Amino acid sequence: MKNPILRAANLASPKQQRNWDWRAASNFIAGGAGGGLLLLTSLATSLAAGFAPEVTRSAILLGLMLIGGGLTCVWFEIGRPWRALNVYRHFSTSWMTREAVVALVLFSFGALALLTLHPVFVVAAGILGLGFLYSQARILAANKGIPAWRHPRSIALMVATGLAEGGGFLACVVSISSAALAAPALLALIALIAIRVWFWKAYLGGLVADGAPDGALRVLSGLDARFVVLGHVLPALAVAAALAGMPGRAGLAFAAGIMVVASGWFLKYTLVRRAAFTQGLALSRLPVRGRGPAGAATKPGWKVTPGTKTG
Amino acid sequence: MTRYVMSIDLRRCVGCQTCTAACKGANATPPGIQWRRVLDIESGEFPDVRRTFLPVACMHCANPPCEAVCPTRATTKRADGLVAIDYDLCIGCANCVMACPYDARSIVHESHFAYGDMPMASEAKRFDPDRIGVSMKCTFCVDRIDLAAITGQIPGVDPEVTPACVNSCISGAMQFGDIEDPQSSVSRLLQETQHYRMHEELGTEPGVYYIWDQS
């Protein structure tokens, strides 16, 4: 295929990032859901103590598999995979390092929780799952080159969607393994759905108010209606129907869980790949040439001009 | 304390791309990779239209976001202000590429040459396998800067220890030197002119100053 001609005039505009593909996105997609699932499993077993051992085991195993699968995908992405252990050998304070360290401890406690189902190990795995999820949110937010990621509200959104996806997965696991979720668990799932949509709206509103590349705003605004309806309204209705005593309670909870997970994964894929436009380059002042005055600022690919808040 | 910076006089840049070619020659970057670029920006609306040439590369920030996100300490800020990459430590995770708001970094995953997979003799001689699969960017010609410590020459004054792009600039738009030295050409130039640094609102404290008018 013939390469498109790059015009020098276009090089200053924000561009969709091409370095992190579906493999890197998978780490955020699967790892975040896995971390959320481990936390919610530990909360459910320590607070409600209502799950059968095989349900708890299945949920922990699924959480560990999601995190492991995500990390494996990202391992295939990096340029020098056989040097991956440099993360541990040359320790730094980056959030990617913290994610790697948390993952190491998480797998140790997760394995112990899986084998023994001892509450201490289950709770420890849950807390570490939350740590993993939070580290991932901070990895994205630390990237100043991508305005849609560095917005401070992206952290809460990533954590909220990870928890909601964890809740969705837990609903699926329980629905498959036993008759149905108890009412408190269904109410908790509705709460997680409500929290996620609230943080999504806050994030999108913040991004529009503070400024972002046109391309990123176009992609995220285009996602809004579908994400809200398919990821929140429909699953909330399904859960409400289950709570109201409609027949097929387990099926309704399963369907709600799948919708919550699928929409969260679609959000993260969109955020990591399609909405990830770079900052682009800008001129605060155009130079004085000859006897004319200096020109106004220019920031190709942005609606807002430099000097306004950029998040 | 030394802090090497670059000043670029936007009034003088004519967009000739000589610095781009000089950088490519000095650093033997692979096809499609340019550590130094000169962008051609058209702005405004007819009839008030302007065309500006904007040379860009790594800004060697005082607060480099690429360093903060590096999981292996491959990217570090040196005492003289240069942001360096240790190719032996880098795992090629591209986190620094995402963190840089100046599009200054790139990763090449497979070796490519000007005419396909087989290098020309000149390319074969200068091909560096250490730079495959790792992050790379403008170094401010760090080997020349380090040479200055041996020879006693002054970067920005003596061409042998000055970045190739600065040496090559046909209009004198680019200057290089120690901003902590009040007598350096860069310090004096910045005192006499109005200037800014790109994306200062992000708190990166870049080491490249763009001059747009006299004081």
- Judge whether residue A307 has pLDDT over 80: no
Domain that holds residue A130: 19-274
- Judge whether residue B206 has pLDDT over 90: yes
The model's pLDDT over A85-129, given as tens digits with 9 standing for 90+, comes to 999 998 888 999 999 999 999 999 999 999 999 999 999 999 999
Q: Nearest Cα to A21, choosing from A59, A62, A72, A78?
A: A78
Sequence-distant (6+) residues with CB within 8 A of B164 are B19, B22, B23, B25, B26, B27, B141, B144
pLDDT, residue A161, reads 98
**Pairwise CB contact (< 8 Å): B97 & A145:** yes
Sequence-distant (6+) residues with CB within 8 A of B182 are B188
Task: Give how many domains chain A has, as a whole number.
Answer: 1
- Judge whether residue A48 has pLDDT over 80: no
**How many residues make up chain B in this entry?**
215
Nearest Cβ partner for A94 among B70, B89, B103: B70
Residue A306 pLDDT class (50, 70, 90 cuts): very low
Minimum Cα–Cα distance from A12: chain B residue: B39
What is the DSSP code (8-state) at residue B54?
E
Q: Nearest Cα to A77, choosing from B14, B87, B97?
A: B97
* Domains defined along chain B, listed by start: 4-214 (3.30.70.20)
Return residues 265-294 of A near B (CB < 8 Å).
276, 278-289, 294
Nearest Cβ partner for B43 among A81, A286, A306: A286
Identify which has the larger pLDDT, A47 or B204. Answer: B204
Q: Would you call B130 an interface residue with chain A, using a CB distance cutoff of 8 Å?
A: no
pLDDT, residue B215, reads 86
The model's pLDDT over B82-106, given as tens digits with 9 standing for 90+, comes to 999 999 999 999 999 999 999 999 9
Return residues 161-190 of B near A (CB < 8 Å).
none
The model's pLDDT over B107-155, given as tens digits with 9 standing for 90+, comes to 999 988 989 889 999 899 999 999 999 999 999 999 999 999 999 999 9
pLDDT, residue A229, reads 97
**What percentage of chain A's residues is helix, strand, coil (to nearest 5)?**
70, 5, 25
Q: Residue A44 sits in a domain of what CATH number?
A: 1.20.1630.10
What are B4's strand-pairing partners?
B178
Average pLDDT (A230-238) is: 97
**Pairwise CB contact (< 8 Å): B52 & A287:** yes
**How many residues make up chain A in this entry?**
311
The model's pLDDT over B145-191, given as tens digits with 9 standing for 90+, comes to 999 999 999 999 999 999 999 999 999 999 999 999 999 999 999 99
pLDDT, residue A310, reads 40
Average pLDDT (A29-39) is: 98
In a domain, A134, yes or no: yes
Written as six digits, the tokens of B17 are 């791309």
Q: Would you call A146 an interface residue with chain B, using a CB distance cutoff of 8 Å?
A: yes
In a domain, A308, yes or no: no
In a domain, A77, yes or no: yes
**Pairwise CB contact (< 8 Å): B89 & A79:** no
- What residues of chain B lie within 8 A of the CB of A79, using their CB? 90-94, 107, 109, 132-135
- Work out how many CB contacts closer than 8 A connect A with B: 179
Q: Would you call A71 an interface residue with chain B, using a CB distance cutoff of 8 Å?
A: no
Least confident of A17-21, A306-310, B34-38, B134-138: A306-310
**Pairwise CB contact (< 8 Å): B95 & A96:** yes
> Which helix (H) or strand (E) covers residue A86, if one does?
helix A86-89
The whole-chain average pLDDT of chain B stands at 95
pLDDT, residue A182, reads 80
The whole-chain average pLDDT of chain A stands at 91
pLDDT, residue A108, reads 97
Nearest Cβ partner for A142 among B44, B50, B99: B99
One-letter amino acid at A216 equals A
The proportion of chain A whose per-residue pLDDT surpasses 70, expressed as a percent, equals 93
Minimum Cα–Cα distance from A88: chain B residue: B72
- Judge whether residue A134 has pLDDT over 90: yes
Give the global pTM.
Answer: 0.93
Taking the CA atoms of residue B108, residue B113, residue B117 and residue B122 in that order, the dihedral angle to the nearest 10 degrees is: -130
- Judge whether residue A279 has pLDDT over 60: yes
- Judge whether residue B205 has pLDDT over 50: yes
Nearest Cβ partner for A283 among B41, B99, B201: B41
For strands B4-9 and B208-214, give the pairing: parallel
Average pLDDT (A281-286) is: 92
Residue from B93, B130, B199 whose CB has the most chain A CBs within 10 Å, to mutate: B93
pLDDT, residue A8, reads 56
Q: Whole-angstrom Cα distance, residue B10 to residue A298?
A: 14
Contact status, residue B155 vs residue B142, Cβ threshold 8 Å: no
- What residues of chain B lie within 8 A of the CB of A104, using their CB? none
In a domain, A288, yes or no: no
Q: Whole-angstrom Cα distance, residue A301 to residue B53?
A: 17
The model's pLDDT over B49-58, given as tens digits with 9 standing for 90+, comes to 889 999 999 9
